[in-house]
Amino acid sequence: MFIAPGSTTAADKASATKQPLLPIGNLGPFFLVTSLFFLWAIPNNLNDILIRQFMKSFALTRFEGGLVQSAFYMGYFLLAIPAALLMRRAGYKAGILTGLLLFATGTFLFYPAALVGQYWFFLFALFVMASGLAFLETAANPFIAQIGAPESSERRLNFSQAFNPIGAIAGAGVGTVFILSGVELTKSEVAARIASGTYAAYLRTETLRVVAPYALLGLIALILAGVIARTKFPVIQSEHEGDVDDHAHVTDLLHQRHFVLAVITQFLYIGAQVGTWSYFIQYVQDYTHQPEKVAGYFLIGTLAAFGVGRFGSAWLMQFVPASRLMAGYAIANIVLLTIAIVHPGWVGLWCVFGTSLCMSVMFPTLFALGIKDLGANTKIAGSLLVMSIVGGAILTPIMGLIAEHTGSIADAYIIPLISYIAVVLYALFGSKPSYSR
């Protein structure tokens, strides 16, 4: 059922803060699905470590290293619609189980990829992993938004998404400690190893360091799949949206201005988030001349700020409308990135660091606002919003090309800056549901 534009009153908005955040009676499925937000954040942020590691072990350029994100987020892009179609027939639980099995398969492919020692094999493994994550995100985000009171959907999704940066911190921590060796060879040392015939062995050792963390992730995914398979899930709104008596049409989504703009804005935002973290280690090293492990710890710190922002925004939304809060955070990031671009160095580093705190509110808020009042088309809408994650695949290599062309990682951060301008515009002018036919 659609709500006419302008029908939301101040009393309606105030009542949102009085609605229970957690779904009483369905806490088991709620927290199991919330745990997925933690799980998928680990590989998402291990990618930032992988870029640095593969640039070293395969002697890649910054653009070639950025293809890690391209392979990963293309999995999201290509599998989101199939995930939605599966869930139209079989429900959210089936989508989650399929996603976990695909994800585990991708992680186990890291072992043969390391044995073969080919970069393309790792990219294929990342694609398979991300295909599974496309199922998980397409299922989990709308499930959490709809499992409780509609008035508190933004707060609830921000709460569940708050566990995502905890997983991000875990991923960056594991990557920094167990994947980054701290061995950084100079050009003369590389030449010496080539001359002595030990350089190939060094590269192979560096490559094999990625196998164990991903194998462990695969085992965790299989265990979680077993638990979820034995858990009874509730039938929630739109669970049977593919039934015969359902007269909704996917083409209706094109008439939902707030949804279409949410997809575009989410594309740009994800590109900003992924690009910011992907080149953060390089930014630290280029402008403060810290070793890779220290830069890795800075990455962990900025992800911790992201987590603080997620929990903080879930609390602040009791008092500030979600769209206005997101606009304020986006404006702050525009200022911070302007400084980081103009004054690279320690000041710029801390400005880029601070953007994680402010970006924290954006994905869940854009997602919740985008699927608002879409009724029977919610699953397909959710899948299209997940597909927009392909922004990370497209904008990250573009940042790499800018850095190579200008010789400055700082200049590449113009891409996230532009993205936050789009977030401000959506939050202030595009997020209110309106319907045209």
- Neighbouring CB atoms inside 10 A of 350's CB total 14
Q: Crossing angle, helix 92-108 and helix 119-146, to 10 degrees?
A: 160
Q: Is the pLDDT of residue 434 over 60?
A: yes
Q: Is the pLDDT of residue 5 over 70?
A: no
Q: Is the pLDDT of residue 108 over 80?
A: yes
Ranges 62-71, 103-112, 263-272: which has the least confidence: 62-71
- Cα gap 143→26, rounded to integer Å: 12
Q: How large a percentage of the chain has pLDDT more than 70?
A: 91
The distance from CA 44 to its chain's CA centroid, rounded to whole angstroms, is 6
What pLDDT shows up at residue 247?
A: 47
What pLDDT shows up at residue 8?
A: 43
Q: Is the pLDDT of residue 11 over 70?
A: no
Average pLDDT, the chain: 85
- Cα gap 429→291, rounded to integer Å: 44
pLDDT one-digit tens code per residue, 318-374: 888 889 999 999 999 999 999 999 999 999 999 999 999 999 889 889 988 888 878
pLDDT one-digit tens code per residue, 269-290: 999 998 999 899 899 999 999 9
- Cα gap 344→274, rounded to integer Å: 20
- Cα gap 381→288, rounded to integer Å: 43
Highest mean pLDDT: which of 201-205, 313-317, 421-425? 421-425
- Structural domains of the chain in order of their starting residue, each with its CATH number: 26-430 (1.20.1250.20)
